[in-house]
Every structure is written in C-alpha cells, then in structure tokens.
Structure 1
C-alpha cells in the first residue's frame, strides 16, 4: 500500500479506513459524509433525523451474534428492517462526520454544504459502485466515479483541498486491480483524509458520538 495519509494499522486488508469498516454491516451499502463548520446534531437533522430521537452513543464492542446490522444500529439495540437506517455523527476539530449505514443519504451533501460550508460524501453500494461528491456553498465542485477515475490526471483538475486528500489517500495494490487502477475504497480514504480521520474504531470510541434511527 502507498497511502501516505494513513499510518500503519489504520486500514483494513481492502484499503478501507478501519473506523469505517468497523462500523459497517456484513454486506455494506453505506455513505460517509464530512462537513466543515456544522455541529453533529445539526448535521443529523439536515440529513433527516428526528431531533427527538438523537441521543449520545457508546458503541458496543461488537454486534450481537447472528446480527446483520451495523455497529451503530447495534448501539441502539435494533436489527433494522428494510427501509430503516442508522446515522452516527461526531466532530473532529472543524469537521463533522456522519456515517449512514444504509447509504440512503448520499445525495444530500448539498444540504450539508449550505451557508458557505465545504462538504463531501463517499458512497459505496451493495453493487460495488463507489463515488465521491464534493460541494461548497451548495454547489457541486466535483463528482468522482471510481470506475472512471484516472489517478494520474484527474487529481490535477480537482479543488486544492480535495486534490490533497486524494494524495493522502494514495493507492493500494490488490489482486483484482491493474497497476495504478483505483480501488473501491479510495473515496472512503479521501473523506477520512479531508476530515483528519486516519483512525481505527478505538480512536472513534474516544470522541463524543451521537446516533439516531431514521427511515430511507
């Protein structure tokens, strides 16, 4: 792996940040939002969470045996039905992240970026579709589909902050990839780099977290 923004033991074998893969269910279809200058509770509300249902969260050590659910859902003690999702949020310096275990809010980054804010969303679908959207003040500045991403030429055309995050995310060598081809988890590393989160799940447990159930 050549991922300069991520210390050893912060990525899983596929190149996904451990704090993200540790939250996911067994067959992830999920999104990670990062936004600068918005408090976690406000970010959850912007993404559709009922403010009455937002609560502090202590992540369990593991999911109950036999559950096909995310760790945030397990924190709420629920095994979601079709159409349910769980949103987990926290703040790291100027940045807030929101983890959506159903990937249902991936089109809402424009809402987070309102009022002059910068926001980005990494989405990975159950069909292995991977993408990243980057917004400023409600305007889309970049949309990256991993299937079409050229790591040699495309970063030069990106906004400077996003380009730096791609440089920090780097690349991984996997059996299914041609040399220089981007992996499916590069966008998860990019949003982690933007928010200053080259973390493990243990690192995530050390900060205050909020969780809320919601519906797709």
Structure 2
C-alpha cells in the first residue's frame, strides 16, 4: 500500500476514504462530486435537487442499516457539506452521475465548474466500474475510466497531478481484485477531504432527495 496523501485512519480496508465508506451501503452504486468556490445548497441545485426539500442534518454516532437513515429518513439520498474552499456532494444512488446524452461524470463536472470554478466527479457502480471527470470553467479536462491513469497530450493541471500522486496505489487483498477506490482518493486529495466521519459531524450538512 502506498497512499502518501492520506494519514492513518482516513482510509478503510479497501482504500476508500473512510468518510465515504461511512455514508455508503455495503454494495454501493454511488457518486461523489467536489467543487471549489460553491456553497453546498448551490451545488445541490445545479445537480437537480429542489431547494424546498433541503434539510439540515447531522450524522449519528451509530451507523444505521442504510446511511440514508443518517440525515433524516430513507427518502434522503444526497448529502452535501463544505470544508474550506471545497464543497462535496455525496449521492448514494448515483442519480446525478450522467444524463441520457452524455458519458458518466462529464455532465455534473461541467455544470459544477461553470463560471471559472474547478470540479471533479467520480462514480462507482454495482459492477465496480469507476470513472473520474475533472472540469475547469465548464469544460472537461480529463475523463478516465476503470482505474486507468489519465492520458492527455498536454501536461495535467498541477493540482490534479498532485491529487493523483497523493492517491497513490492500494494493493487489494486478492490478486484479481481491482483498486476501485483510486478515483475517490483522487477527489478527496484534490479537495483536501482527507478526513474522518467525526470531522463531518462538526460541519453543517444538507440532506435532500434527488429531483
């Protein structure tokens, strides 16, 4: 295991940032978005959530059977908060990961990064397919899938390259097991969300259903 950007206690046994694991179901199909310079409620609106359904929430000490019980009730599938300059949105069902005409991750990253912002999105599916979209000022700069290293003709943005370096590699328990959490580590490193679930209990969180 080599994950130089993550202190002890911030990753779970398969290399997923532990705060994401705490929100996820046992076999998740989920999406995580990060954006710099946008409030949580604004990010949720851009992703299609309705402000009238937003509720402030806290994560309980004891993990519920499904994380969606944590904010309020089972209908709440999205959770958003802000630490420093970066806002995160956790989508427990992956409902915000794509639309009918576009590849996964590219649409939300473009929307969130509009007006000069930087955003990134990663989805992990039931079948353990993964991808990462990184966008600047409404344009996708990098989109990679299934753990492949980003390849572009020009040099990667410095902050993205630093996040990739910080994410490092995580050796699986079994030889045929892929590192499906690498893109989630990249997102967490990019947004400096190398934190624990307890850290999330000290910030204001917004929960909402999608749509």
Instruction: Tell me whether the two structures share a fold, i.e. TM-score over 0.5.
Output: yes
* Matched residue, 2:139: 139
Instruction: Work out which of the residue numbers 83, 86, 92 in structure 2 matches 1:95.
Output: 86
User: Deviation of residue 206 (structure 1)?
Assistant: 1.3
1: distance between equivalents of 2:182 and 2:198? Answer: 21
* Matched residue, 1:171: 169
* Matched residue, 1:56: 56
1:22-171 equivalences under 5 Å are 22-64=22-64, 67=65, 69=66, 71-78=67-74, 80=75, 86-107=77-98, 108-147=108-147, 149-150=148-149, 157-171=155-169
* Matched residue, 2:209: 213
User: Deviation of residue 174 (structure 1)?
Assistant: 1.4
2: distance between equivalents of 1:203 and 1:60? Answer: 12
Q: Does 1:195 align with 2:186?
A: no
Deviation per residue, 1:8-36 (Å, 9 max, x gap): 11110000010001100121000110000
User: Deviation of residue 74 (structure 1)?
Assistant: 3.5
User: Deviation of residue 159 (structure 1)?
Assistant: 1.9
User: Deviation of residue 121 (structure 1)?
Assistant: 0.3
Q: CA RMSD in A?
A: 2.2
Gaps of 5+ in 2: 99-107
Are the equivalent residues in 1 in contact too, given 2:160–2:190 (CA < 8 A)?
yes
User: Deviation of residue 62 (structure 1)?
Assistant: 3.2
Number of matched pairs: 202
Pick closer, same or farther for the CA change 1:182–1:128 going to 2, 3 Å: closer
Are the equivalent residues in 2 in contact too, given 1:59–1:72 (CA < 8 A)?
no
TM-score by length of 1: 0.86
Which of structure 1's runs of 4+ aligned residues deviate more than 6 A? none
Are the equivalent residues in 2 in contact too, given 1:73–1:86 (CA < 8 A)?
no
Deviation per residue, 1:46-105 (Å, 9 max, x gap): 1111101111111122344xx4x3x24442222x5xxxx611111111110000000111
